[in-house]
Amino acid sequence: MRTLIFLLIAGISSLTHAQSPSDVARHRLIGLIADVRGADGRRYGSRDHLGNTMDCVKIIKRTDSEQFIGVYHTYINEVPRVNLAISDDLLNWTWLRELAYFGSQPTIAVPSDQPHGYIVAWEQEPKNHLRFAFYPTWSDLQAGIPSRNYSVPRTLSTCAEGTPSIYGQPTLDNIDVGFHFYDNCVVDRQARGTLKNFGLWTQFRKQPNVDNALLHFGVKGNIGDRDTISNFDSYQFTAMEGQYAPNDFGTWRTFIFDPQTGNADPVNVITDGGSQAFANPTMTLTTWKGQQILIVTLFVPSEGHAEGEAGELIYYRKL
């Protein structure tokens, strides 16, 4: 009898939850992100060598060396600045320069048609909006001198649009951008747009289906920052933040959105001390010394942290 009931339940659940080819890859990714203690390297409360907090850092590898680049923001006297640092080991960071004043939430990518250059995007004040800059070489980035720049006019919110992320492999002429818009100036929601030739902001649109994937779990606050990897076991996945209770930073959680299924899964991140809240996820797939690695960063807000874990968490896993 018990076996029969089990078979019935198993049958019903396999009918209602059809398998997707991306399921195995997604579950593996979620397992890797959740298990901070199993990482090959990790650092809580990350700071650069000058002591700047490395809030919301996005890390990529330099195209011409084994060094890593980090872009992040630091609040000093209540003014956020976008900072640039380098590292040989992903944990120890040497500050190089400030890239933007009154800027925050930066991301960085290498365009496929300019493989020595770097696109940096961030959230710029005043009139909270997206801003982009292109640095043709590593020396230009180090010097903070862009050859192109563009401030994106707000299109979906009259109050704020921010937390840029870059989908797939951009070119200088075509950057596929994820961002959030402050919907009716009440709550952050997902959006996507394209920057053409550093001069035209187009195809901007709300993404209610992406929001729905998180609202499904009872998220009542903001749905904000996200970051996408294009080829994890051949599938694309986006790490996203969702806030269960409005205005409560202690309720930020991480989700993996699966564009293959249109659904998301919560990630139950387990740290050494048991922090509960995690915002601003980023993921980077790259190689290091010939080995494929997954780099993950999460911001642990002071409202939901365990002792010694507040601030930016950086960890990586050899694959």
Q: What is the binding site for ligand NAG (CB under 6 A)?
A: 92, 94, 146, 149
Least Å distance, CB 82 to ligand NAG, is 12
Nearer to ligand NAG by Cβ, of 252 and 316: the residue is: 316
Task: Identify whether the C-beta of residue 66 lies closer than 8 Å to the C-beta of residue 292.
Answer: no
Least Å distance, CB 161 to ligand NAG, is 19
Nearest to 107 by CA among 254, 240, 230, 227: 227
Task: Identify whether the C-beta of residue 180 lies closer than 8 Å to the C-beta of residue 227.
Answer: no
Nearer to ligand NAG by Cβ, of 94 and 291: the residue is: 94
Least Å distance, CB 49 to ligand NAG, is 6
Rounded Cα distance between 257 and 91, Å, is 27
Q: What is the CA radius of gyration of the chain?
A: 19
Nearer to ligand NAG by Cβ, of 64 and 89: the residue is: 89
* Torsion angle defined by CA atoms of residues 271, 276, 281 and 284, in that order, rounded to the nearest 10 degrees: 10
Nearer to ligand NAG by Cβ, of 92 and 287: the residue is: 92
Least Å distance, CB 160 to ligand NAG, is 22
Task: Identify whether the C-beta of residue 168 lies closer than 8 Å to the C-beta of residue 180.
Answer: no
Nearer to ligand NAG by Cβ, of 14 and 94: the residue is: 94
Nearer to ligand NAG by Cβ, of 29 and 57: the residue is: 57
3's CB contacts (< 8 A; 6+ apart) are none
Task: Identify whether the C-beta of residue 272 lies closer than 8 Å to the C-beta of residue 263.
Answer: no
Least Å distance, CB 203 to ligand NAG, is 21
Least Å distance, CB 185 to ligand NAG, is 29
- The residue type found at 122 is W
Q: Which residues of 92-106 are buried (b: 16+ CB within 10 A; e: fewer)?
A: ebebbebbbeebbbb
The DSSP result for 81-97, as a single string, is: EEEEEEESSSSSEEEEE
Nearer to ligand NAG by Cβ, of 244 and 288: the residue is: 288
Least Å distance, CB 94 to ligand NAG, is 5
Residue in this structure with the two tokens 């209770």, named with its chain if needed? 245
